[in-house]
Amino acid sequence: MATWKASSSSSSPASSPSRRFISYRRRTKASPPKRPSSESPPRKMRSIADIMAKSSPVVEQEQDDSYGDVTCEKCDSGERDDELLLCDKCDKGFHMKCLRPIVVRVPVGPWVCVDCSDQRPVRRLSQKKIMHFFRIEKQIDQTEKSQLSQEESRKHRRRSCSLTVKKRRRKLLPMVPSEDLEQRLAQMGTLASALTALGIKYSDDLTYVPGMAPRSANRSKFEIGGMQVLAKEDLETLELCRAMYRRGECPPLVVVFDPLEGYTVEADGPIKDLTFIAEYTGDVDYLKNRENDDCDSIMTLLLSEDPSKTLVICPDKYGNISRFISGINNHNRFGKKKQNCKCVRYSVNGECRVLLVATRDIAKGERLYYDYNGYEHEYPTHLFL
């Protein structure tokens, strides 16, 4: 095997410079690292005087006042702008209290009006249908009736100035309806809409249905320990208020829908302390038949020594505005502060009745609350607001 070996003459650079191999790469100085294209070369900082000399004066831009002239589509007023809601579709304004049902809290997130939403609007009943719904009797001129009711209210509000040693009994006051007929019809319209939405028929008296408790079972003498008898003056007030209901004169109350509380009652005018509000009405039945009932508005009517004869009022098919009055939270220290009316059981002509009476002056816009556990303390109110 032939082996090639370089001669000594060829390995000497001095002897053969022509055969010297030179690399094709040239060694140069290291170039500085390139900056990213986004970085700009360093600039020399200018003084504040140079900047101020070359800067142009700032022109203050006018604020966008395109929503400054928004008015409510219902009342055509731009006042109380903190209560104006703007529809996210049509940009129209609505006061929260002008909407039906009333919006009690500012909605979280987007909000659209009734015209732009897919929900069914609250059914509004005509004047004729409202009068037919409540079976209002057509009587004499309304002006004379309002004058009579005012005279009766003054008569019951009259106080004697003589000093007495014993405590005087406080009398029930008749309700004072709104003077405007249109306002009264609007108030009754809210109640008619709420009852219709729940499939309840209006009734201003206790109803006795075959298969439930008969009327003969509703006797105040069966009450444990007896029942307080309604005084003669208060009985006259009760009959006066019933006649006013039949004429279409109702207390200044409206039924509103709250997303958290559901249907509730709100005062549409001032109500004095000890004013008769309404009688709790509905079907009268034995408690044993309603132990597994899902109705959330059952009211105790008669507490008998025999539990099988205890009676309750069930406003699931028949009822009036008392069915929508909310209850307080007995487990909350703020619950008692909200209470402004109470339910009292009376013996009226030998029968048991439940009356709702104001316990203090109620201002317009205030909601009505009473204690559901006025007698047995068995109603679970710990989840109430």
Q: Are 256 and 190 in contact (CB under 8 A)?
A: yes
**For position 319, what pLDDT does the model report?**
93
Beta strands in 203-310 (DSSP E): 253-258, 262-267, 276-279, 283-286, 299-302
Task: Give me the DSSP letters along 24-93.
Answer: S----PPPPPPPPTTSPPP-PPPPHHHHHHHPPPPPPPPP--TTTT--BTTT-----GGGEEE-TTT--E
Q: What is the CATH number of the domain that holds 250?
A: 2.170.270.10
Q: Tell whether 213 is covered by a domain.
A: yes
Looking at the structure, tell me whether residues 315 and 228 fall in a common domain.
yes
**For position 111, what pLDDT does the model report?**
84
**For position 2, what pLDDT does the model report?**
42
- Give the residue numbers spanning the domain of 184: 170-370
Looking at the structure, tell me whether residues 215 and 287 fall in a common domain.
yes
Q: Tell whether 123 is covered by a domain.
A: no
Looking at the structure, tell me whether residues 98 and 216 fall in a common domain.
no
Structure tokens at 369: 């609350």
Q: Tell whether 14 is covered by a domain.
A: no
Q: Are 223 and 211 in contact (CB under 8 A)?
A: no
Looking at the structure, tell me whether residues 195 and 79 fall in a common domain.
no
**For position 371, what pLDDT does the model report?**
83
Q: What is the CATH number of the domain that holds 108?
A: 3.30.40.10
**For position 213, what pLDDT does the model report?**
94
- Measured CA to CA, the distance from residue 155 to residue 170 in angstroms comes to 14
Looking at the structure, tell me whether residues 225 and 93 fall in a common domain.
no
Q: Tell whether 220 is covered by a domain.
A: yes
Bridge partner list, 345: 354
Q: Are 175 and 251 in contact (CB under 8 A)?
A: yes
Looking at the structure, tell me whether residues 303 and 222 fall in a common domain.
yes
Looking at the structure, tell me whether residues 207 and 311 fall in a common domain.
yes
Evaluated on CA atoms 204, 349, 371, 249, the torsion sign reads positive
Checking DSSP bridges between strand 341-348 and strand 351-358, what pairing results, if any?
Answer: antiparallel
232: CB partners within 8 A, 6+ apart: none
pTM score, whole prediction: 0.58
**For position 260, what pLDDT does the model report?**
80
Q: Tell whether 122 is covered by a domain.
A: no
Q: Tell whether 186 is covered by a domain.
A: yes
Cβ burial, residue 330 (10 Å; 0-12/13-18/19+): middle
Could you give the 3-state DSSP secondary structure of residue 279?
Answer: strand
- CA dist 314 → 126, 135, 168, 284, 318 (Å): 29, 22, 35, 6, 8
Looking at the structure, tell me whether residues 97 and 180 fall in a common domain.
no
Looking at the structure, tell me whether residues 184 and 299 fall in a common domain.
yes
Q: Which of 227, 209, 204 is nearest to 356 (CA)?
A: 204
Helix axes 232-246, 142-157, angle to 10 degrees: 160
Q: What is the pLDDT of residues 116-156, one digit of tens each?
A: 876 655 566 777 777 777 777 665 555 555 665 666 666 55
Looking at the structure, tell me whether residues 200 and 105 fall in a common domain.
no
Q: Tell whether 80 is covered by a domain.
A: yes
Structure tokens at 114: 């009734």
Could you give the 3-state DSSP secondary structure of residue 133?
Answer: helix
Q: Are 276 and 293 in contact (CB under 8 A)?
A: no
Looking at the structure, tell me whether residues 102 and 198 fall in a common domain.
no
Query: CA Rg, the chain, in Å?
Result: 41
130: CB partners within 8 A, 6+ apart: 136, 185, 188, 189, 192
Q: Tell whether 164 is covered by a domain.
A: no
Looking at the structure, tell me whether residues 193 and 109 fall in a common domain.
no
Domain count, the chain: 2
- Measured CA to CA, the distance from residue 340 to residue 366 in angstroms comes to 9
**What residues of the chain score a pLDDT lower than 50?**
1-28, 161-167, 382-383, 385
What phi and psi, each to the nearest 5 degrees, are found at residue 343?
-105, 130
- Measured CA to CA, the distance from residue 73 to residue 161 in angstroms comes to 52
